[in-house]
Amino acid sequence: MNDGEQSATDPENTCFDTMLTLGPDTSAATIASDCRDAALQFINESKRWTKLELEMWLTARYAPVTRYATKENTPATWPVPLLRDIDARLVERIMKSARTEIMETLAAIAKDGSASFVLRALIAGTVVRCEDALGKPAWAPTGETARLADRVLSFFAVDYLAQPGDYETKLFVCPACQSVTFDENVRLRGACDQHGGAYSITAPRRHSTLPYPPLGAG
Q: Kindly report, residue by residue over 104-136, the tens digit of the pLDDT.
A: 999 888 778 888 999 999 999 999 999 887 888
pLDDT surpassing 70 at residue 216: no
pLDDT of residue 183: 87
CA distance 95 to 58: 12
CA distance 162 to 153: 14
pLDDT surpassing 70 at residue 146: yes
Between 12 and 152, the higher pLDDT residue: 152
Q: Label residue 14 by pLDDT band (50, 70, 90).
A: very low
Q: Kindly report, residue by residue over 152-179, the tens digit of the pLDDT.
A: 999 999 999 999 999 998 998 888 788 9
pLDDT surpassing 70 at residue 19: no
- Long-range CB contact pairs, 181-190, < 8 A, 24+: 181/40, 182/36, 182/40
Which residues have a Cβ under 8 Å from the Cβ of 72 and sit 6 or more positions away?
A: none
Question: Average model confidence (pLDDT) for the chain?
Answer: 79
pLDDT surpassing 60 at residue 42: yes
CA dihedral 128, 133, 135, 136 (to 10 degrees): -70
H and E: helices and strands count for the chain:
10, 4
